[in-house]
Structure formats: structure tokens, C-alpha cells
Amino acid sequence: METETQTERTQPSRASQDLSEAIKEATKEVHTQAENTEFMRNFQKGQVTREGFKLVMASLYHIYTALEEEIERIRDSPAFAPVYFPEELHRRAALEQDMAFWYGPRWRLAIPCSPATSCYVQRLHEVGHAEPELLVAHAYTRYLGDLSGGQVLKKIAQKALGLPGSGEGLAFFTFPGVPNATTFKQLYRARMNSLEMTPEVRRRVLDEAKAAFLLNIQLFEELQGLLTPESQNQSPPQTPGLHHRASGREQDPSPAGAPRGKAPLPSHSPAPLLPWVLTLLTFLVATVAVRLYAL
């Protein structure tokens, strides 16, 4: 009993720990899952195709459009206002530049959206409307992760795809409003740690941070099933699993009974477009792995 008391005294309680550190600790397991995948290693080797990268960027456009729509709605709320940094962090405008580069002037009609991307988008809108205080979890895991790992991924894609050094097609990875990433991340964490929330809200924020990473991991697991020998031997169906949609809200409801803080599983599976699958898996899992511990 005495030993347990000493341990409790030397380790900060979950409630007294800074929110940023608590999120890092809560998401440690999903980071390990992402880090130990062969797809992350493949991406680091530069095994990425041009067509696959286009699809990845399209997914990011849909995700950030949804996230920033919801952020704009609650930007003046005490639950989010301290971490509202649109000039420094928002990615939608940069991704619009990238969409024009990859898909041409009529990109809004051409960009695809995978079922798992739709699932992510749906979760963001669901949280934004029902529990907006949880958006801080999504903002933190996405923005600071991309700010941390963006330059690494940018260099890999630039080299693998033979893209110009001036950065065309990779605006997403550039943060011109952040001259010093380390200093800015310190500011962001301090602002986030200053947010006032009840113990119950704090618990749900931590759960939502895990859900944010699980949305990426679940995409990996969904597509991994297509890589079995049985799937590879099947003929592709006539209707592809990717669909085109406007950047507005996904209308499909969440599965009934989905637990709070857990990412809903996609309700339909994409067709086995294996070249795209390999690239998308590699990129998204690499993003999770490279980002998390740089937060």
C-alpha cells in the first residue's frame, strides 16, 4: 500500500496533467500500431505513384474542408477560441491550390471521395454539431501533426514524383504563416492547456483524440482486406468504390449505437483498386506515424 502511494505521488494524475500531454499519452497505443506497419516503411522508401498521391490529396481536401467548416462555426466559443489560428494553420485554401494542380481547373467536379474519407467527414460534422467542445482533439491531432511531419512527407513525395522544387502540388505541406514551427507549437499547446473543461469533457476529448487516429487506422484496416490473395484474384466490379461529391456535409447517418468517442466504421467498401490502395494506405499510415510523436 505504501509503494502504491509513493507511485501516485511521483506520477501526475490524469486530471492534473496538461491536456496536450494527456492526448499524447492517450494515443500512444494507436501510434505504435501505425508505426509497426510495412506501408509506412514503403512510403519512406518513396514507393508512391502519381495517381495514388492525387487520391490522397483529394481525401485531405474533403477532411480539412469539413474540419474548418465546423471550426468556423464555433471559433468564438470559449471551448475553442484560444486555439483558433486560421492564418497560421487552416489548410483548405492550400488544398484548393493543390486540387487545381492535380485535377485541373474543373477539379471540383473531378475529385473523388472514398467511403472511409466520407466516414471521417461525417464524424467531423457530427462532433461539430453535437459536441463542438471535442473539435479541439481533431484540430490538435491534425494541425500540429501536419505541421510537424509535413516537411518530411513533402520531401518524400517531391522526390518520388519528380515534382518541381518550387512546391507546386504540395501547398498543403507548407505553412507560410508559421515562421518557426517549434515556437508556434509551444504557443498552441499553452493555449490548449489553458482551455477550461470539466473532468467529463476532458475525458471525452481524450477519447475523441484516439478516435481521430482510429479513423486513419480503420481506413488502413478496411483497405488491408483488399490485399488478401482472394481479393487480388477477383475481377474488379464495374462500379468503382470511389465517388465524386461536393465538399458539403455527408448525409448518411452514423451507424446506430456507435459508442461515443469511437470512429464509426465505413458502411460500404471500395473496389479493389490495388495501386491506389497501396499508395493511400502507405501515405495515411505514414502520416499518422510521422506526426504523432512530433506533436
Annotated binding residues for heme b, written as ranges, equal 24, 31, 140, 189
Phi, psi of 170 (to 5 degrees): -130, 25
Whole-angstrom distance, CA of residue 45 vs CA of residue 53: 15
**Angle subtended by helix axes 199-224 and 274-292, to nearest 10:** 150
**What nine digits make up the cell of 228?**
488478401
Residue listed under C-alpha cell 475481377: 235
Q: Give the count of beta carbons closer than 10 Å to the beta carbon of residue 69.
A: 17
Residues 6+ apart with CB under 8 A from 24: 292, 293, 295
Report which of 249, 241, 233 is spatially closest to residue 273, judged by C-alpha positions: 241
Whole-angstrom distance, CA of residue 164 vs CA of residue 122: 35
Q: Please say whether the beta carbons of 128 and 70 come within 8 A.
A: yes
Report which of 291, 62, 293, 39 is spatially closest to residue 173, judged by C-alpha positions: 291
Whole-angstrom distance, CA of residue 253 vs CA of residue 258: 11
**What nine digits make up the cell of 209?**
483524440
